[in-house]
Amino acid sequence: MEQKGGCNIQKSKRKNKDHCMINLNIAHHKITLWILAFVITISSAIYQRRTGPTYPKRGQVEFQGNEISFRLLRSQNVTKDIPIMLTVADTSIGGYAKFKRLKKSSTEWSKLLLERKGDSLVVDLPHGNQEAAEKLMYFVYLTKNNEQLSLTGTNPVTVRFTGKVPDFILITHILFMFLAMFLSNRAGLEALDEKGKAYKYMLWTIGFFLAGGFILGPVMQKYAFGYLWTGFPFGIDLTDNKSLVAMLGWIGAWIKNRKGKEGRGWIIFAAILMLAVYLIPHSLLGSEKIPE
């Protein structure tokens, strides 16, 4: 056996090169690794929720000496109106909302005044019998005297309408995707130690990811938007495509670790890849139906 670059290279032509990789003696710290995997998973989920294009848009503006916070919906069921409610204690401040269907050139902007109810300004934008995957865009303005202010500046808020997804399918999908991400992080951490047993976590990751992302995911999308799959090769849905990329990473890791092989580098790569694609905002370039 000879030394080369700090690695032990065996003349027996051993195919496994994992002994040349980073090796941290951490596999025996099981509780710590579970906690760390959980923290990474929760942190990435919070980040994705706050940056996703279908989660409520939040912010704060100053108008006529008042600090006003807002939370504006960007996703709604096709059977429901879009409620807008602002807490504005100054009764001299009013407002209005204007809205139109997205990418429908024949539709003009409609306008509704905000109604005062105590310390709140409220209005419900009508869903207008829109279908699943269609979109509506709107502005909300505050007014006082001859001044007005758009809460979101020159950028409208866009709402995507969805069909009703059965609670069982939705909850199970979310649970399985969370577990897949959790076990992916756990497998990646375990693979940093050459004595670790990352293979079993890899198999559980693939199982939950397959069930959550490629069985329940399409079923949920069928209920919500009328389509089973809108990623490659049928469309550009980023949620579907990023799931496909992450699964290909794990399939590669499985191939490199089957039949007793030790390709822990592939497990580390697949875990990092899954975390990276998971951080891409959910529903970006999602299913969209263009009205005629």
Per-residue DSSP letters for 271-286?
HHHHHHHHTSPTTTT-
Indicate the number of domains in the chain.
2
Report if residue 1 sits inside a domain.
no
pLDDT in tens, 237-252: 778 889 999 999 999 9
Report if residue 9 sits inside a domain.
no
Based on the fold, state whether residues 123 and 172 are members of the same structural domain: no
State the pairing for strand pair 120-125/82-87. Answer: antiparallel
146, 162, 178 - which closes a domain: 162
- What is the full per-residue pLDDT of the chain (292 aa) written as tens digits? 444 444 544 433 434 455 566 777 888 899 999 999 999 999 998 888 777 778 899 999 999 889 999 999 999 998 899 999 999 999 999 999 999 987 655 578 999 999 999 999 999 999 877 888 888 999 999 999 889 999 999 999 999 899 989 999 999 999 999 999 999 999 999 999 988 889 999 999 999 999 999 999 999 989 988 888 888 888 777 788 899 999 999 999 999 998 777 788 999 999 999 999 888 876 554 555 544 4
Based on the fold, state whether residues 142 and 237 are members of the same structural domain: no
Report if residue 8 sits inside a domain.
no
Please answer whether residues 198 and 210 qualify as being in contact, where contact means their C-beta atoms are separated by less than 8 angstroms. Answer: no
Q: CA–CA separation, 129 vs 156, rounded Å?
A: 21
Smallest CA-to-CA distance from 109 within 101, 124, 99, 95 is with 99
pTM recorded for the entire structure: 0.79
Torsional class of 153: left (φ above 0), alpha (ψ -120 to 50), beta (otherwise): left
Based on the fold, state whether residues 133 and 114 are members of the same structural domain: yes
We report the CATH number of the domain holding residue 117 as: 2.60.40.10
**For the chain, what's the residue count?**
292
Report if residue 239 sits inside a domain.
yes
